[in-house]
Amino acid sequence: MKIAILTFEGFNELDSLVAYAILSRVQAKNWQVQITSPTPTVTSMNGLTLSAHQPLRYANNADAVILGSGSLTRQLVRDEAILSALSLDPTRQLLATQCSGVLWLPALGIEHHAPVCTDLTTRPWVVEAGMTVLDQPFLAQNQVATAGGCMASQYLAAWLIAQLASPEEAEQAIHYVAPVGEKSSTVAHCMAVVSPYLEGAHVNV
C-alpha cells in the first residue's frame, strides 16, 4: 500500500509531518508512507529542510496521495515541470488535499464538483478558482477528501487509514498520538468527523 505525501518548497510542517507521523503508525508490512517531492530536498516555510523519500513520479502509481500545502502553492500550481510530472486519477487513487493543496485539483485538471475545505488564508483564492468552500475542517466525496486548518491533517490521516486498512486501525493510530488523559475523547471526535465519509456511508453535500 503506497501513500505519497506531496511536499513542496515552502511546505507547512504540520500539514505534511502530522499526517506522516499518524499514517506511519500502521505497522502492516506492505504499508509505505513516503515524502514525495520534485527535488531531493525541500525547505519549509519556517526553514526546516527535509530529504524526500521519492520523486514526484512515485505519486502517479500510489494508492493514495496527500497534496500538501505551503506558502508557495499559488506559484507552484503554475509550474509546468511539476504539472507535467504528475498524473493523478481519482478513479484509481484516493486523493486528499490539505489547506492550499486543494488548488492542485483544478491545476491538474481533476474534476471535483463537491464543495471543499481549506484554510482561511487560502479560501479567497479557492473561491476565485470556482470552488465552493465549506466552513468545516473535513469533507470527502467519493475518492477525494479535502481538509482545512493545519490540525485537520489528523482527519485526512484517519480517513486514509480507515479506507486503506480499517476503521479500527485508524482508531489505534489516533489513540497513539492523542494527548494522555484525552485519548478516548480524541479518538471518538476524530472518528465522528471522518466516519460519515467512509466507503459505504451515504453523504449529502
- The three-state secondary structure class of 163 is helix
Angstrom CA distances, 76 to 19, 67, 140, stand at 21, 12, 24
Q: Model confidence over 5-24: pLDDT tens digits?
A: 999 999 999 999 999 999 99
* DSSP string across 145-158: EEE-SGGGHHHHHH
Residues 6 or more apart in contact with residue 198 via CB below 8 angstroms: 159, 162, 163, 167
Cα end-to-end span (Å), the chain? 29
Q: Which of helix, strand or coil describes residue 10?
A: coil
- Tell me 100's DSSP state: G
Give how far the C-alpha of residue 165 lies from the chain's centroid of Cα atoms, to the nearest Å.
16
pLDDT at 101: 96
The phi, psi pair for 155, rounded to 5°, reads -70, -40
Residue carrying C-alpha cell 485537520: 152
pLDDT band (50, 70, 90) for residue 202 = very low
Domain 2-197 coded CATH 3.50.50.60? no
Longest dimension (CA), the chain: 48
Quote the pTM value: 0.93
Please say if the pLDDT value at position 25 is more than 90. yes
| Residue appearing with cell numbers 506522516 | 20
CA 161, CA 84: separation in Å to the nearest integer? 29
Taking all residues of the chain, what is their mean pLDDT, rounded to a whole number? Answer: 94
Rounded Cα–Cα distance for residues 116 and 112 (Å): 9
- Residue pLDDT, tens place only, 66-112: 999 999 999 999 999 999 999 999 999 999 999 999 999 999 999 88
Q: What is the DSSP letter of 137?
A: S
Cα–Cα distance for residue pair 198/142, rounded to 1 Å: 9
Q: What is the pLDDT of residues 126-158, one digit of tens each?
A: 999 999 999 999 999 999 999 999 999 999 999
Domain ranges of the chain: 2-197
User: CB-hemisphere CA count at 13 Å for 127?
Assistant: 9
Q: Could you give phi then psi for residue 53, rounded to 5 degrees?
A: -80, -35
